[in-house]
Amino acid sequence: MFLLLVLAVLALLYYLYIKPLWHWKSRDVLFENPIPVFGNMMKPTLKMEHITTLIHRMYNNYKDSPYFGILNFQNPILVLKDPKLIKRVMVKDFDVFSRHLAMADEKIDPLWSKNLFSIQDVHKWRHLRATLSPTFTANKLRMMFDLMQECAKNFTKHYLEQEDEVFEVDIKDAFRRYATDVIATTAFGITCNSLKDRNNEFYIMGLDASNFDGIRFLKFLLYSISPLLTKILRLGIFSKTVSNFFRKIVSDNIRMRKEQNIIRPDMIHLLMEARKGKLKKEKSEPVDLEADSFAAVDESEIIKKETDWQMEITDEDITAQAMVFFLGGFDTTSSMMSFAIAELAVNPEIQQKLDKEISDVFENTGGKIKYEDINRMKYLDMIISETLRKWTLAILLDRQAVKPYTIYHDNGKQPLKLNEGDVVWIPTYCIHRDPAYFPDPEKFDPERFSDERKHEIKPFTYLPFGAGPRNCIGSRFALLEAKIALFSILIHFEVVPTKKTILPLKLNEKAVTLQLEGGFIFGLKKKKANMGNYLIC
Output the CA torsion sign for 378, 380, 384, 389: positive
Cα dihedral: 471, 45, 226, 112 (round 10): -40
Burial of 59 from C-beta contacts in 10 A (0-12 / 13-18 / 19+): buried
> Is 472 one of the annotated binding-site residues?
yes
What does the DSSP 8-state code read for residue 393? S
End-to-end CA distance of the chain: 84
**C-alpha–C-alpha distance, residues 96 and 94, integer Å:** 5
Closest CA to 311 of 119, 104, 95: 119
DSSP 467-514: -STTS-TTHHHHHHHHHHHHHHHHHHEEEE--TT--SS--B-TT-SS-
Question: Do the Cβ atoms of 276 and 353 come closer than 8 Å?
Answer: no
H helices present in 391-474, as ranges: 428-432
Question: Do the Cβ atoms of 400 and 97 come closer than 8 Å?
Answer: yes
Question: Do the Cβ atoms of 342 and 505 come closer than 8 Å?
Answer: yes
Closest CA to 133 of 280, 247, 263: 280
Binding residues for heme: 472
Binding residues: 472
